[in-house]
Amino acid sequence: MAKFSFTAPKSKIFKHLPKALMATGMWFILFSLIFINMKVSFSKLTESNFLHLWGSGFLLALLIIAGWVCLSFFERRVFLKNKNLLLIWVTFCLTAVAFEACIAVPLNLYLLPIPGIAILLALLLSPRASFMVTLTFSLLFGLIAQGRPDLFLTMFLGGSLGIILNTNTRKRNQLLNAGILIGILNFFVITLLGLYEGQYLQAVLKDALWGFGGGIFTSFFVMGLLHIFEIGFNITTNITLLELSDLNNPLLKDLILKAPGTYHHSLVVGNLAEAACDSISANSLLARVGAYYHDIGKIEKPEYFSENELESKSRHTQLAPTMSALVIIKHVKDGLELAKKHKLPASLINFIQQHHGTGLIYFFYQRALEKVKDESHLKEEDFRYPGPKPQTKETAVILLADAVEASSRSLSDPTPAKIEALTQKIINNKFIDGQLDECELSLKDLNKIATSFARILTGMFHSRISYPEVSNSST
């Protein structure tokens, strides 16, 4: 009897449902704030109030849709992940709560944390996505605050300055400096707008001081929430990466003590990757710190890796090629377990998991081929890493740097020409093997990476002048 199975069709409606719900939630919250602050019930709505609500509702919907569409066109990588949109939605809710608190207490609306939201999103997502969100939030909250262009302009300019100042933030004191500069900008913008509108100087200066205070508040707002958002949304900022690059980290200390050769190898890979990422405008800090941790799995059995071998005889001479391959491959699994145990962020775990891709352990595969009579009994998959292949530019650079650094140590006479030829050969082999198929590296990027690797390695292997020996005999 034939078996029938039913598979529900995959619909784009369900794929975009979370995005639609978040956009609708934003509209409902803003519309509710307008209605609440009108302080009238539905039964007592006049024609004027009703038209005001009707027009405001349509304007809010248009602005939210426009912001969502811009994000989908210009920051598609951010837009496609619901986690990122949820982060934006949470920051919107925080701004809405702050808005209502300012109305209820009451406090000056120049304390709204939109510049702080701009800095947070620039650090957690991207500067361009943050700029679009800042523009949208400034328009939305400027509209519901009885259509105040001064509030829109102040929030937007302050947020834009915050994004510019914190695009590559690596120290927490930069956040405080940014807050002070935003406060100064707010002070001058509010003063000029007040004078332009013909307000009394005393009232203008009072608002300007509130604006300066809002800038200072921005710093503490970001410093207070940044780490919480990093943990909650599993996003790693440059500040956290710098903290993880501290060589006193327990994992790195273990690597130094138990696998000193691997530790040195990781440092060199980090230098290679950092220079290469700078040349292709990728995240060089992420690549460098990823290099420090990519081989931590070798801590478990360091003596089975050539860079840590102290004896002239390798331990692999006593093992079958298939067993040697299993030991080598296992360092990826061991690294993942250590990373999870020490709660490393997902961005660093990716380096551990992807730094070999699905590459072939060629040396042991060739040994195995020499020992078997029938090659059909030998599976190439048993000698390949489980993957996945590198998914980002940074992890792909680490894969290339790892292979180039390891191979460069086997050069007997490392001249610049030999180093350049070796680098090109390894990158070409990885490309032909399909290890770079799932990342965003172009051929132009690969040429830049090869040039960068060759330059760094040539500097490392440069020849020194032979100094004459000093004779102790007197004449």
Q: CA–CA separation, 223 vs 4, rounded Å? A: 57
Q: Which residue in 91, 77, 175 sits closest to 141, CA to CA? A: 91
Residue 405 predicted with pLDDT over 90 = yes
Per the model's pLDDT, the better-predicted residue between 2 and 33 turns out to be 33
Whether residue 301 is found in the same domain as residue 336: yes
Tokens in use for 74?
């210009």
Mean pLDDT confidence for 122-150: 93
Whether residue 243 is found in the same domain as residue 228: no
Could you tell me which residues are beta bridge partners of residue 360? 384
**How does DSSP classify residue 296?**
G
Whether residue 345 is found in the same domain as residue 397: yes
**200, 235, 270 — which closes off a domain?**
235
Residue 4 predicted with pLDDT over 60 = no
pLDDT in tens, 49-78: 778 788 889 999 999 999 999 999 999 889
Q: CA–CA separation, 145 vs 102, rounded Å? A: 11
pLDDT at 378: 81
Is residue 6 in some structural domain? no
pLDDT in tens, 154-177: 999 999 999 999 988 888 889 999
Whether residue 322 is found in the same domain as residue 178: no
The answer to whether 453 and 401 have CB atoms below 8 angstroms apart is yes
pLDDT at 466: 53
**Local confidence band at 102 (pLDDT 50, 70, 90 cut-offs):** very high
Is residue 150 in some structural domain? yes
Q: CA–CA separation, 41 vs 420, rounded Å? A: 77
Q: What is the CATH number of the domain that holds 300?
A: 1.10.3210.10
Q: Which domain holds residue 128?
A: 18-235
Whether residue 243 is found in the same domain as residue 209: no
Whether residue 250 is found in the same domain as residue 205: no
pLDDT in tens, 331-359: 999 999 999 999 999 999 999 999 999 99
Tokens in use for 441?
């590296």
Is residue 165 in some structural domain? yes
Residue 8 predicted with pLDDT over 60 = no
pLDDT in tens, 424-465: 999 999 999 999 999 989 999 999 999 999 999 998 876 555
Q: CA–CA separation, 438 vs 25, rounded Å? A: 35
Residues 6+ apart with CB under 8 A from 6: none
Q: CA–CA separation, 205 vs 216, rounded Å? A: 17
CB count in 10 Å sphere of residue 398 = 31
pLDDT at 40: 61
Whether residue 310 is found in the same domain as residue 409: yes
Whether residue 224 is found in the same domain as residue 368: no
Per the model's pLDDT, the better-predicted residue between 329 and 7 turns out to be 329
**188, 218, 235 — which closes off a domain?**
235
pLDDT at 11: 55
Whether residue 289 is found in the same domain as residue 378: yes
Is residue 149 in some structural domain? yes
Is residue 468 in some structural domain? no
Is residue 474 in some structural domain? no
Q: Which residue in 156, 69, 81 sits closest to 124, CA to CA? A: 81
The answer to whether 163 and 130 have CB atoms below 8 angstroms apart is yes
pLDDT at 436: 95
Mean pLDDT of all residues in the chain? 89
**204, 235, 266 — which closes off a domain?**
235
pLDDT at 413: 81
Which amino acid belongs to residue 236? T
Is residue 4 in some structural domain? no
Residue 472 predicted with pLDDT over 60 = no
Residue 1 predicted with pLDDT over 60 = no
Whether residue 82 is found in the same domain as residue 102: yes
pLDDT at 193: 92
H-helix segments, 245-320: 250-258, 260-279, 284-293
Is residue 469 in some structural domain? no
pLDDT at 387: 86
Domain count along the chain: 2
Whether residue 181 is found in the same domain as residue 40: yes
Whether residue 182 is found in the same domain as residue 288: no
Tokens in use for 44?
């007592």
